[in-house]
Amino acid sequence: MVLDNILHRGVGMTSQRARDRLVVRLREKGIRHPAVLKAIARTPRHLFVDEALSHRAYEDNALPIGNGQTISQPYIVARMTEAILEDGIPDRVLEVGTGSGYQATILSHIVPAVFSVERIRELLVQAKKRFRELKISNIMAKHSDGTMGWPQTEPYNAIIITAAPEMIPDSLLEQLSIGGRMIVPVGQDRSMQKLQSILRTEDSYESQVLETVSFVPFRSGKA
């Protein structure tokens, strides 16, 4: 019980109070959706970063997770999650870029089924371990190049891409259901990427820019 408290509720810088303060900051930055704020409040982000960085887990910043990758800034995770909830709760969500598993965990508290792919094996293995430890059973995660999406379980009502492609791969757009939404940072230059929200209609795709963002690059091939 004591160990469980330390692990999941945390002490001091990793406590429930630290998470609640983060929620207050996100609200101030404009995040409104109650389910998103609730998911952030209950998810122990300090378990998704290296122990040496856990005291910084509830700052609203991206942090390194190894292999040259980062866990996204909480505000961006919240913004992207809120953006796919615009038309209601999607049944099935595909995430490309599992990374630490934090974004997938936030999604798992809101939507029925999360599918997540990661090209770096080491990160995927660690993320799956976290899902097990947190007893999350509605995330299906696999080691794979997300350029091709996850064709066996398509279509998805929403797709979240957490690394920035120069151009969105067609196969990903094709795995979106009609009426579904994709949230994706697009652009090569890290300081000039645009976070786009793309709605699939009966016969086309409608895109809207949400804001300027800075994501790690989308890369093809497995590592």
Binding site for ligand SAH (CB under 6 A): 69-72, 96-97, 99-100, 102-103, 117-120, 123, 145-147, 162-163, 216, 218-220
Q: CA triplet 1, 131, 153: central angle to 5 degrees? A: 155
Q: Minimal distance in Å, beta carbon 177 to ligand SAH?
A: 21
Q: Minimal distance in Å, beta carbon 190 to ligand SAH?
A: 13
Q: Residues 54, 72, 108, 116: which is the catalytic one?
A: 72
Q: Minimal distance in Å, beta carbon 203 to ligand SAH?
A: 28
| CB-nearer residue toward ligand SAH: 3 or 105 | 105
| CB-nearer residue toward ligand SAH: 111 or 206 | 111
Answer whether 120's CB lies under 8 Å from 146's CB.
no
Identify the sign of the CA torsion 115, 138, 74, 8: negative
Q: Please provide the size of the chain in residues.
A: 223
Helices (H), the chain: 2-4, 16-28, 34-42, 74-84, 102-108, 121-133, 170-174
Q: Minimal distance in Å, beta carbon 137 to ligand SAH?
A: 19
| CB-nearer residue toward ligand SAH: 82 or 118 | 118
Establish whether 214 is a catalytic residue. Answer: no
Q: Minimal distance in Å, beta carbon 27 to ligand SAH?
A: 21
C-alpha closest to that of 153 among 145, 164, 162, 141: 141
- Please provide the distance, in angstroms rounded to a whole number, between the alpha carbons at the two ends of the chain: 38
Q: Whose CB is nearest to ligand SAH?
A: 99
DSSP state of 146: G
| CB-nearer residue toward ligand SAH: 131 or 218 | 218
| CB-nearer residue toward ligand SAH: 103 or 108 | 103
Residues 62-101 as b/e (b if ≥16 CB within 10 A, e otherwise) read: bbebeeebbbbbbbbbbbbbbbbbeeeebebbbbbbbbbb
The residues assigned a catalytic role are 72
